[in-house]
Amino acid sequence: MSLSATTAPPSPSAPPPTPPRRRSRAITLNRLDLKLSPYLYIAPFFVVFGIFGFYPMLRTAWMSLHDWDLIGDHSFIGFDNYTRLFTDEYFWNATINTFGIFILSTIPQLLLALFLATMLNRTFLRARTLFRMAIFMPNVVSVAAVAIVFGMLFQRDFGLINWILSLVGVDAIDWDAQKWSSWTAIASMVNWRWTGYNTLILLAGMQAIPKDLYEAAAIDGANQWKQFWRITLPMLTPTFVFVVTLSTIGGLQLFTEPLVFGNGNIIGGDQREFQTLAMYMYELGIENLSTAGYGAAVAWAMFVMIALVSLVNFLLVRRSVK
């Protein structure tokens, strides 16, 4: 009697080794994917920015070096348009108006936004979501509606503001006939629209501050005022710098509010009392076809001013908070 030998099933064959060249190619492709994929994700933004942002800037710079007539020749004149700015009284009038409205709107706006954000950040406040929605509502209201409301408020004969002033013995003010009165009216419109927007940004920054810092400060005996100065403001510096920069850029590009305040008058009043740089640039580059090159020079002057003022504000805010 023979014994049958049991044989084990054949083991599966091992996969053939990957050639070194193919392995190195896969590693290289993997590294390229890790390095290039983030740039490919944000590439659409740069494409759109290049078409609608960077190219128009270069085109405007090229136009500013020419006597650019939209219906004629474009002769090269170098920096003559820029030297003309120094003797242009309308340009300096628009610059003064822009900075005047900017100061009257930006400083009170930021202070009020900081105060409102601090109040909305309190834990004892009821219906905080409702207050946040209400404080943001002016920002989503149509500019045309804002113009109608503030036009009625600052009307000379039957306006609510003049009626309130008459109760304390102040004569009626023709708000769009003088610089300071028109600046105040336009600044109030800007403050009403954008204070809530800045408030929510600052509130988001406050809520990102760790609560442990306040608890430790309270244990050490710091009151609410000291906590605000020693914890809130220093920790809020990046957000506050961001808000200041946005407000600076928006304030120096002011166009819609003064335009609707003057009922569409691009020169900003009979004597250009509240014409801003953006309005003056529009007058030269859009309404007047023969001065597009000079309007481009005004646009680049605005760009330089905005960049310098934003840089100064950034340095001042960062140093003062520190």
Structure tokens at 194: 């954008």
- What confidence tens digit (pLDDT) does each residue in 21-45 have? 666 666 776 677 677 778 888 888 8
pLDDT of residue 21: 60
With a pLDDT cut of 90, the percent of the chain lying above it is 27
pLDDT of residue 296: 92
Listed residue (46, 16, 194, 59) closest to 116, CA to CA: 194
Angle at CA of residue 275, ends 271 and 279, nearest 5° = 135
**Three-state SS for 146?**
helix
Angle between helices 237-252 and 292-321 (to 10 degrees): 160
| Residue recorded with tokens 């336009």 | 186
Per the DSSP assignment, residues forming a β-bridge with 68 are: 74
Query: Which long-range CB contacts under 8 A does 117-125 form with residues at least 24 apart?
Result: 117/199, 117/200, 117/202, 117/203, 117/206, 118/206, 118/228, 118/232, 120/199, 120/203, 121/203, 121/206, 121/207
pLDDT of residue 3: 47
Quote the mean pLDDT of the chain. Answer: 84
- What confidence tens digit (pLDDT) does each residue in 181-231 have? 999 999 999 999 899 999 999 999 988 888 888 888 888 887 888 888 888
pLDDT of residue 318: 67
> Of how many residues is the chain composed?
322
Beta strands 66-68 and 74-76 are antiparallel
**Three-state SS for 74?**
strand
CATH of domain 88-145+171-321: 1.10.3720.10
pLDDT above 70 (res 5): no
pLDDT of residue 237: 85
| Among the ranges given (64-78, 178-192, 267-281), the one the predictor scored with the smallest mean pLDDT | 64-78
Q: Which amino acid, 225?
A: W
Section 292-314 average pLDDT? 89
pLDDT above 60 (res 80): yes
Band (1; pLDDT cuts 50, 70, 90): very low
pLDDT of residue 16: 58
Domain layout of the chain by residue ranges: 24-64, 88-145+171-321
pLDDT above 60 (res 316): yes
pLDDT of residue 112: 93
pLDDT of residue 149: 87
pTM higher than 0.85:
no
| Among the ranges given (13-27, 35-49, 150-164, 295-309), the one the predictor scored with the smallest mean pLDDT | 13-27
pLDDT of residue 198: 93
When comparing pLDDT for 20 and 33, which is higher? 33
